[in-house]
Structures are given as structure tokens and as C-alpha cells.
Copies of this chain bind each other. A is one copy, B any other.
């Protein structure tokens, strides 16, 4: 009923083991044999059984994408990454399992153990903020499961993909300065997230490079959410000399800033320039459209998955590739009033 490896072997006149070798792209198969087998597989529409492969060998052709759905950055971000990962997996005949994790208690590690143990997961894609969760990385190492990270903070020896967020933030704030802004507010993301750090660092770099002071009262804590953007913006507006521009560490908070500005009767960009980071769909759905930095999440997911699979296949050592950012200058920023 099902075409088995043995059937292919019989049809080709070789042993099952040889077919297995072809299937697994082992090198010790004569090219002519390989071609014959490949042809037979094709014509018989043979599809190996992952269950059998998993049982017999060690491989499972399964990778897992780990994400934190509690301390969750915008869901579109993760959705795009997932899409990219699936895309790459597809191309390499891997399958992916999505695994939401809650970074709380020991249960967290248990889930990872269970996942790896039960499904023979071969590798893992780790997304922020899990990328720097020491116990997780530690456990993965113990389990011998390679992982590729997306935007990890510790890049030493990491494999995966990253972007120069600091440079991007600096470019963005520099743009504001060039527009004549001198009092520029910044709303931080969740503490300890790499994104928060890099974006703050870039903000400071830009100010310093322009000879402007870094004034702590213009830097407020946020947590990447729309609501936290609103709250922080209100505080900034309450300052005696309120900023003429605000750089929020992500688009959601920038949207919050614009919301708060509306509330105060401040017109964007006439009275206030606003910019964010990530270029989520939201950015172009706001009025006015938001100046931000495009982060190619989908592409990043794909690249990370490719790095991981290359590594698993033993080809290449697995690298941390860097993707370029793009400034998206839109109408939410303008010359200083």
C-alpha cells in the first residue's frame, strides 16, 4: 500500500541499505547507482517514513522554533519569523514544530527536555527574548541540541542571524538631529532585551556624535507595548521642556506615542516627530505613516533556519549572518518646530 524503501531497492536491483545511503546522501555510493536509485524513487513516488527513520536512526528532520508567548514582542514579528523558518525547512525537507514557552519556573526546562526527548528534535531556532536565557541555552548544550538564534545578545560563537540594530538606531536618531531636533526622547523596551539595549546605545551614539547631551529625563522605561508607549509619552509631555521628537524602541510604542500626542492635541509631525523600530504592518497603518527601521523578520527567520540546517548537515560551521537594515522615512517625522 505504501512504497517502502525495500520496494525501491527491489526495483533498482540493489540492497535496501544502498537505497538508504542514497536517501541520506552518504558519499560512498557510486554515482551511476545513485542515479538509478534516485530515478526509481522519483518514478515510484517514494517518500521515506519519518517515523521509521526516527526510530532506526537518530535523525528526525525536525526542528523546533522556541518562542516566549508571554513576554511576547508583537505577534506579527513572530509570525513572520515562523513563516521564514517554515519556508527554509520546506526547501530542505525538514519539518518544524512551533513551541511556545513560558519563561517561568522549572517547568520551562522540563518542556524543552520533553520536546527534545519525545520528538528527537535535531535543532532549535531560538527567538528573542529566549536567545539570552542562560538556563535554556545551557540545557540545549547539555542535550547536545544545536540552536540558531535570531538577534542574540551574546554573539560569541553563536549561529543564526542578526542585524546591526545599534547602527540602525543611530542612523534614525541622526536623521532626527539633522531635521533640527535637539530635545529627543527615547522610550526603552523591556529591560535586558537585546533590542532595548542596542536601540538605546544607538540613540546615545547619535546624540554624542552630534555633540548633544544625553539627558536621562528624556529616557523612559517602556515595555514594547502600545500601552507603555502611551504612558511614557504622557510623562515626556509633562516635562517643562518636552521633547520635539520621540524615538520609541518599537513601532507599537511609537503608535502609543502618537495616540498620546493626539490626546494632548499635539499634531504629528508638526508639533512632534515620532519614530519607531521594526516596520511592522502597523507602521503604515498609522496616520501619519511612521518613520521606522525595517527589520526583515521573515528573511531573518529563513536565514536562521538555513544556518541551522547547514550546521546539522555538517556543511559549514554555521555562522551568524548579518542582515542589512533599511531606514523607512515616512511622514511621522519632520523638521523641528
Q: Which residues does chain B contribute within 8 Å of A60, judged by CB atoms? A: 51
Q: Which residues does chain B contribute within 8 Å of A286, judged by CB atoms? A: 259, 285-286
Q: Which residues of A66-122 are within 8 A (CB) of B?
A: 69, 75-76, 78-80, 82-83, 86, 95-100, 114, 117-120
CB distance from A70 to the nearest CB of B (A): 11
Q: Which residues does chain B contribute within 8 Å of A75, judged by CB atoms? A: 75-76, 79-80, 281
Q: Given the complex of chains A and B, what is the CA–CA distance between A284 and B69 in angstroms? A: 20
Question: Which of B2, B50, B55, B79 is within 8 Å of A119, CB to CB?
Answer: B50
Interface residue? A49 (CB, 8 A): yes
Q: Given the complex of chains A and B, what is the CA–CA distance between A287 and B255 in angstroms? A: 9
Q: Which residues does chain B contribute within 8 Å of A114, judged by CB atoms? A: 47
Across the interface, do B95 and A95 meet the contact criterion of CB distance under 8 Å? no
Across the interface, do A100 and B83 meet the contact criterion of CB distance under 8 Å? yes
Q: Which residues of A38-58 are within 8 A (CB) of B?
A: 47-52, 54-55
Q: Which residues does chain B contribute within 8 Å of A259, judged by CB atoms? A: 285-287
1/0 contact string of A1-33 vs chain B (CB within 8 Å): 010000000000000000000000000000000
CB distance from A257 to the nearest CB of B (A): 11
Number of copies: 2
Q: Which residues of A279-336 are within 8 A (CB) of B?
A: 281-282, 284-288
Interface residue? A256 (CB, 8 A): yes
CB distance from A251 to the nearest CB of B (A): 9
Q: Given the complex of chains A and B, what is the CA–CA distance between A119 and B47 in angstroms? A: 11
Interface residue? A226 (CB, 8 A): yes
Q: Given the complex of chains A and B, what is the CA–CA distance between A2 and B113 in angstroms? A: 13
CB distance from A2 to the nearest CB of B (A): 8
Q: Which residues does chain B contribute within 8 Å of A97, judged by CB atoms? A: 95-97
Across the interface, do B55 and A83 meet the contact criterion of CB distance under 8 Å? no
Q: Which residues of A245-273 are within 8 A (CB) of B?
A: 252, 255-256, 258-259, 262-263
Q: Given the complex of chains A and B, what is the CA–CA distance between A98 and B187 in angstroms? A: 35
CB distance from A163 to the nearest CB of B (A): 20
Q: Given the complex of chains A and B, what is the CA–CA distance between A75 and B76 in angstroms? A: 6
Q: Given the complex of chains A and B, what is the CA–CA distance between A114 and B90 in angstroms? A: 12
Across the interface, do B51 and A55 meet the contact criterion of CB distance under 8 Å? yes
Please give me the residue from chain B that is nearest to A65 by CB atom.
B98
Q: Given the complex of chains A and B, what is the CA–CA distance between A49 and B55 in angstroms? A: 8
Question: Which of B48, B79, B118, B284 is within 8 Å of A49, CB to CB?
Answer: B118
CB distance from A285 to the nearest CB of B (A): 5
Please give me the residue from chain B that is nearest to A60 by CB atom.
B51
Q: Given the complex of chains A and B, what is the CA–CA distance between A100 and B98 in angstroms? A: 13
Question: Which of B50, B82, B98 is within 8 Å of A118, CB to CB?
Answer: B50
CB distance from A300 to the nearest CB of B (A): 16
Q: List 10 A-B contacts (CB under 8 A).
A: A49-B118, A51-B54, A52-B55, A75-B80, A95-B119, A97-B97, A226-B281, A259-B286, A259-B287, A262-B288
